[in-house]
């Protein structure tokens, strides 16, 4: 059930994106995610699809692995679409029965939200798939370094975020292993209504929590045995450096961001010229 979850995993490869500076990748990912929320038309989503395809090709990560990152949010995706279809009004009425009214604007809005969420998750998963947890920790620490002026625990925050990302796949695998063990003992997680299924998952939580606390204790012991005492006096074995790949990647994302903003500014004029492209 959870074996195919890709978010939080690292996929080793010798690719263009793998060799980019982790700091630049984080900044460009934030710009990419911000650009998604500026998109208001399906033409804009087409541009995102092309950009995402270029990034996946440049990363050498299998498309199926990136696509699997959507699996954990499928329920949220469907639930969000249903809410938007039934509660967003405007446009032509497609179906009307009792208190239910489905309009063309509600359907279009639901599809836009679904695409926005899909592209957001796939872009974020591409960052973790092409960046090691250690590089992510160093990059976050470097980017937040100015906060040291106000004595903010930047190193500790970066370490916590890195450990959380690192243990997402481990917890998913542990959950899947417990489910298969319970199924072998006769547990049923598939039949019944949603309440019955939710109750069936309660016995999974206890061993999962015990396993999580055990992993946390082992990690704390390992860090203590290696004399970890926080950021004070620590040095970096690998120094992050920018290169030509970072400049190329920055140019592509900035160009994408510029195109998105331009489309938003000129959209009223473009709708009059080619209305079918800016639904």
Please give the residue range of the domain that contains residue 125.
Answer: 1-131+243-279
Q: Would you say residue 12 lies in a domain?
A: yes
Q: Would you say residue 191 lies in a domain?
A: no
What pLDDT does 247 receive?
92
How far apart, in Å, do the first and last CA atoms of the chain sit? 37
Q: Would you say residue 167 lies in a domain?
A: no
What pLDDT does 276 receive?
54
Q: Would you say residue 57 lies in a domain?
A: yes
Tell me: the pLDDT tens digits for 92-136? 777 777 777 778 778 888 888 888 888 988 888 888 889 887 788
Q: Would you say residue 183 lies in a domain?
A: no
Q: Would you say residue 170 lies in a domain?
A: no
| Mean pLDDT value of segment 163-190 | 77
- Does the pLDDT of residue 212 top 80, yes or no? yes
User: Cα separation of 44 and 37, whole Å?
Assistant: 11
Tell me: the pLDDT tens digits for 136-163? 888 888 888 888 788 888 878 887 877 8
Which is more confidently placed, 248 or 181? 248
Domains identified in the chain, total number: 1
Q: Are 122 and 70 in contact (CB under 8 A)?
A: yes
Q: Would you say residue 60 lies in a domain?
A: yes
Q: Would you say residue 230 lies in a domain?
A: no
Tell me: the pLDDT tens digits for 35-93? 888 887 788 888 888 889 999 999 998 888 888 888 777 888 888 888 878 777 776 77
Rg (CA), the chain: 23
Tell me: the pLDDT tens digits for 213-230? 888 888 889 888 887 777
């Amino acid at each position: 059930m959870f074996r195919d979850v890709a978010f939080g995993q690292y996929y080793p490869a010798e690719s263009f994106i793998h060799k980019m500076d982790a700091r630049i990748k984080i900044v460009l990912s934030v710009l990419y995610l911000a650009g998604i929320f500026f998109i208001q038309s399906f033409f804009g989503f087409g541009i995102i699809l092309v950009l995402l395809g270029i990034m996946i090709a440049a990363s050498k990560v299998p498309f199926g692995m990136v696509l699997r990152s959507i699996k954990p949010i499928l329920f949220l995706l469907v639930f969000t679409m249903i809410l938007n279809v039934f509660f967003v009004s405007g446009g032509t009425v497609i179906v009307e029965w009792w208190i239910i009214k489905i309009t063309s604007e509600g359907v279009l809005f639901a599809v836009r939200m679904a695409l926005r969420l899909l592209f957001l998750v796939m872009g974020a998963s591409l960052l973790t798939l092409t960046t090691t947890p250690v590089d992510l920790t160093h990059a976050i620490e470097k980017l937040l370094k100015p906060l040291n002026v106000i004595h903010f625990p930047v190193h500790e925050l970066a370490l916590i975020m890195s450990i959380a990302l690192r243990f997402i796949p481990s917890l998913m695998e542990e959950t899947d292993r417990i489910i298969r063990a319970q199924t072998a003992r006769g547990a049923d997680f598939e039949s019944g209504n949603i309440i019955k299924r939710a109750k069936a998952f309660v016995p999974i939580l206890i061993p999962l929590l015990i396993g999580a606390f055990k992993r946390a204790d082992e990690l704390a012991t390992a860090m203590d045995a290696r004399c970890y005492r926080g950021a004070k006096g620590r040095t970096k074995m690998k120094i992050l450096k920018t290169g030509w790949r970072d400049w190329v990647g920055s140019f592509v994302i900035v160009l994408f961001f510029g195109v998105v903003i331009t489309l938003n500014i000129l959209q009223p004029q473009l709708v009059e010229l080619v209305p079918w492209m800016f639904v």
